[in-house]
Amino acid sequence: MAYCPKCGVKVDHGGKDCPLCDFPIPVVEEEVEEQTHPFPTPENVYPKEFKVIKKRIFKNIAVFLLLAVVVMYFQNILLQGTLTWARYSVAATFFLLAYIAVFLNFIPNPYFFVTASALITLGFLFTMDWIGGELNWFWSLGLPLVAGIFLLSLIGVFAYRHLKRKPLILAGVFMMLAGLYFIVVEGAVTGYFFGKIHLFWSYIGGIPLSALGLSMLYFHYYFPQSMKEQIKRRFHT
């Protein structure tokens, strides 16, 4: 709605003269609302680009390893007339490819990384033992060692994600986990070779580590801040 600049009377839209005083109404362009264009949310494209690069690396490695498998297979057939050593090397090559896929971290989750690594290791050990004709050491030696490191690694990942801002407690937890794994290793090895579990050196290594781990917990809760900072520097935490 326009107004007459002389007498102030309202003039209908499109009117050229004032209906009261016949004063010509100047043409005024209507204001056009400017369209606002909000700044787009920035997107980090680095993970996508890096994932493409990792896929390319994996494909190249896979082609190279598959060519190596073909060479080993035919070399064994031509030299021995049957598959002997190539069974081990070919199987190991496929498991190596699986390890590389996991280590390239296509799924960036530490629990997945630990679980996938443990499953691949179990599959590798089972295959190596099975290729020999029968399962001799997998159940009594390979499985306990891998299962032990798998469970303790899960605990370690959980502890790191929840205690990374408390380095003294985290260091203590890792020390106690290492002491526990000493017991797992010696128990599995002695049980396989001697038919019963006999613990000796795991106590020598595990007890001091566990005691030091408990001392880290004590230092965190009861030591003054100046002492905590000095201990952190000693352990580079």
pTM beyond 0.85: the answer is no
| 131-143: pLDDT as tens digits | 987 888 999 999 9
pLDDT number for residue 51 = 81
Residue 146 confidence (pLDDT) above 80? yes
How high is the pLDDT of residue 97? 96
67-126 pLDDT tens trace: 999 999 999 999 988 888 999 999 999 999 999 999 998 888 999 999 999 999 999 999
Residue 212 — very low, low, confident or very high, per pLDDT cuts 50/70/90? very high
The pair of three-digit structure tokens given for residue 218, joined into one six-digit string: 């004590």
What's the burial of 50, exposed, middle or buried (CB within 10 Å: 0-12/13-18/19+)?
A: exposed
Percent over 90 (pLDDT), the chain: 55
Mean pLDDT value of segment 1-15: 67
| Token representation of residue 176 | 């106690």
Rounded Cα distance, 169 and 158, in Å: 13
